[in-house]
Amino acid sequence: MSVLIVGSTALDSIKTPNAENPRLLGGSASHAAVAASFFSPVKLLGVVGEDFPRRYIQLYERLGIDLEGLQILPGKTFHWSGEYELNMNHRRTLLTELGVFETFNPTLPKQHQDTPFVLLANIAPSLQYHVLEQMRRPRFVVADTMDLWLNIALPDLLKLIKRVDGFVLNDSEAHQLTKEDNVFAAIKKIHKLGPKYIVIKKGSHGSILSSPAGYFLCPAYPLGKVVDPTGAGDSFAGAMMGYLATANGPVDDHIRRAMIYGSVVAAFCCEGFGLLRTARLKRPLIEQRVKELEAFTGF
Amino acid sequence: MSVLIVGSTALDSIKTPNAENPRLLGGSASHAAVAASFFSPVKLLGVVGEDFPRRYIQLYERLGIDLEGLQILPGKTFHWSGEYELNMNHRRTLLTELGVFETFNPTLPKQHQDTPFVLLANIAPSLQYHVLEQMRRPRFVVADTMDLWLNIALPDLLKLIKRVDGFVLNDSEAHQLTKEDNVFAAIKKIHKLGPKYIVIKKGSHGSILSSPAGYFLCPAYPLGKVVDPTGAGDSFAGAMMGYLATANGPVDDHIRRAMIYGSVVAAFCCEGFGLLRTARLKRPLIEQRVKELEAFTGF
């Protein structure tokens, strides 16, 4: 089965203590779509400007990503610029130019409306909701978010997560949303807001699933060096949804393994700037690290 | 087989945002010995003053802990007082009265010198070394430490860890010791200092083992509420060593499971002040949570 992914499609200018890379392919939907493409057919829904480099379109195409839902509009592509500190957990935004994103109205091509798996990657929750309303009985819908929307669009976000199956967020965002310092106490409160499946991302500390089948404590793949963590969370969610879409049977039977694939692709993402490492991935490399994670966690 | 545990035996006065408990049984050796006692025979090596409450001696005795190595000297018991913030990861020391600990000279009773498993729980590394020198060919020696010794007794600590099999420390201490922000890069540097087995404790994020058999990513037991984290790390190390001492065969075959038991006992420790919860534990309760952790981690 296939996955529909909506989110931002952007140009990212990223600075770390060691290097600087301007105008890389970025955005939540780009990272998620590339990650999902190693597992299942992907339909991308997004918007870019006329300045969007042809080679990025070719990259999507090479990975077999369906671009019928990618609008190319007069104007500039969304451009984000950020800088990481030595401790990669801290970054600051230097610049945000919304460009064509400012008036983005995600309209689903008719043949996309029956896609069974839907990932509402990080964009304004009102846009995520607008996409969800155009879907016809999707099988499994997951929404991601970021602190910005908790700050400026909380009512929209609360309206959205009432209607999704799964909700993916960082531990710091879970604390912000619930005012609970303890992550498991926070999870309990978030379930009351709607989602049956909650995934808390904790960066290098892994992630936690709370589902009707109980908790799953998902490890992060051990990395001795992080080059650029931008998009790791989007890659995680994309790979998870891509894997789920190809697994037969109930979501509960496969979501744990899907998160393991998410962890592995997220780790690859961190090993290069932007999508440089992820885009060159091959499935056997992913499988190798999944096996390693099995070896690192059995007892 | 049995475990010899040396470390501090103290009275802890602990303040949290919700409660205050004066003069609880505490200290690294107390926490570790109680935790280990659920698995194997334990020999405690420590010192207390004449003010040490009789009921704490009875608690050790009820758990079958061998007290031949516990010196009772004229003077006052080591007294520590600390206060936790709302976020339990932050605490500050209010008071440290060394008392009889100031002149502690841990001398091993002759029949303790052949104990196969040795846990050098957190005390001054020179004292840990002094105990190690009195042992006759122990099978497996693990040392724990704290940031204080990295600050004021680094040469002693480096001398000690050259001679131990295993070294247990917090992630923040690993960063402090190696100047490496990445925990896996830090582990590589610590191996070069001697220990073949390194356990990095990450509190509620679990722990990491690096050993000749590779990494083990050990989860923390999920807790919805932490009452008092004092002694959790000591409980972890104690339970790990207690479990190892009763397992037959090579350490590599059992250390992962031993860490799982460590995680479970550490979680119980956090559910009560001082040793109040841990001391009332029964083995079946521990086994139940180990089973839960199995269920929370399989994929």
Encode pLDDT of A238-273 as tens digits. 999 999 999 988 999 999 999 999 999 999 999 999
- Torsion over CA of B208, B210, B211 and B213, rounded to 10 degrees? 80
Q: Which residues of A touch B (CB under 8 A)?
A: 86-87, 181-185, 188, 202, 204-206, 208, 214-219, 222-226, 256-257, 259-260, 293-299
Q: For residue B133, is pLDDT > 90?
A: yes
Please name the residue of chain A whose CA is at the shortest distance from the CA of residue B215.
Answer: A296
**Domain residues of chain A, as ranges?**
3-297
| Sequence-distant (≥ 6) Cβ neighbours of residue B250 within 8 angstroms | none
Q: What is the pLDDT of residues A271-283, one digit of tens each?
A: 999 999 999 999 9
The overall average pLDDT reported for chain B is 96
**Residue count of chain B:** 299
Distance CA B177, CA B171 (A): 10
pLDDT band at B148 (very low <50, low <70, confident <90, very high): very high
Q: Which of A215, A223, A295 sits opposite B222 (nearest CB)?
A: A215
Q: Edge-to-edge, what's the strand order for the sheet holding B207-211?
A: B66-73, B42-49, B3-6, B117-120, B140-144, B166-170, B197-201, B207-211, B214-218
Q: What is the pLDDT of residues B162-214, one digit of tens each?
A: 999 999 999 999 999 999 999 999 999 999 999 999 999 999 999 999 999 99
* Contact between A252 and A296 (Cβ < 8 Å): no
Among candidates B168, B176, B183, B20, which has minimal Cα distance to B94? Answer: B20
The predicted model scores a pTM of 0.96
- The kind and range of the H/E element at B140 are strand B140-144
- Nearest 5°: phi and psi at B292? -60, -45
Token look-up 């509402």 returns: A120
Q: What is the pLDDT of residues A140-178, one digit of tens each?
A: 999 999 999 999 999 999 999 999 999 999 999 999 999
Within 8 A of B214 by CB-CB distance, chain A residues are 295-296
How close, in Å, is residue A153 to chain B by CA atoms?
27
Cα B151 from chain centroid (whole Å): 20
Within 8 A of A86 by CB-CB distance, chain B residues are 181
Distance CA B45, CA B248 (A): 25
DSSP three-state, residue B22: strand
Please name the residue of chain A whose CA is at the shortest distance from the CA of residue B209.
Answer: A296
Within 8 A of A297 by CB-CB distance, chain B residues are 216-217, 297
ipTM score of complex: 0.94
Within 8 A of A215 by CB-CB distance, chain B residues are 222, 296
The verdict on a CB contact (< 8 Å) between A182 and B216 is: no
pLDDT, residue A18, reads: 85
Please name the residue of chain A whose CA is at the shortest distance from the CA of residue B182.
Answer: A224
Average pLDDT over every residue of B268-278: 97
Q: How far is CA B209 from CA A283, B229, B247, in A?
A: 28, 21, 18
The dotted CATH code for A3-297 is 3.40.1190.20
Distance CA A242, CA A3 (A): 6
